[in-house]
Amino acid sequence: GENVEQHPSTLSVQEGDSAVIKCTYSDSASNYFPWYKQELGKGPQLIIDIRSNVGEKKDQRIAVTLNKTAKHFSLHITETQPEDSAVYFCAASIQGQNFVFGPGTRLSVLP
């Protein structure tokens, strides 16, 4: 079955710097890759996603890149702010069916 790895497990950056979180997946049939932000005590919130027919997608300060050949995808956050501090999860899905999640990255943005 699908396996998703995520690195790093923790990440600290200075306010205004960029943050990058990387994920790899094992099943080449996976074709949908969402990213979630989870604040303490709340449910994960979808922040951006990418489908396998696209190599890059951007939404304001957040971007996601996908390399299907290497089977990895990354989340990029620019101009980080304290409110970006949270746990971020990547996931992979085949045809919108079962979603397999990475273990999460705890991002801390230091003022």
Partner 1 sequence: DGGITQSPKYLFRKEGQNVTLSCEQNLNHDAMYWYRQDPGQGLRLIYYSQIVNDFQKGDIAEGYSVSREKKESFPLTVTSAQKNPTAFYLCASSTGLAGGAQYFGPGTRLTVL
Task: Give the nearer residue to partner 1 in terms of CB position, either 73 or 89.
Answer: 89
Q: Which of 91, 92, 107, 109 binds partner 1 (CB under 8 A)?
A: 91
Joined together, the tokens standing for residue 9 give 């497990």
Q: x-or-dash pattern for partner 1, window 17-56, by CB under 8 A?
A: --------------xx-x-x----xxxxxx--x-x-----
Tell me the residue ranges of DSSP E strands in the chain.
Answer: 4-7, 10-14, 19-25, 32-38, 45-51, 56-59, 62-67, 72-77, 86-93, 99-101, 105-110
Helix (H) or strand (E) holding 27: none
The residue written with tokens 């990547």 in the block is 90
Q: Does 111 bind partner 1 (CB under 8 A)?
A: no
Binding residues for partner 1, rule CB under 8 A, total 24
In the complex, the smallest distance separating the C-beta of residue 14 from partner 1, rounded to whole angstroms, is 24
The strand pair at 105-110 and 10-14 is best described as parallel
Residues that bind partner 1 (CB under 8 A): 31-32, 34, 36, 41-46, 49, 51, 89, 91, 93, 95-99, 101-104
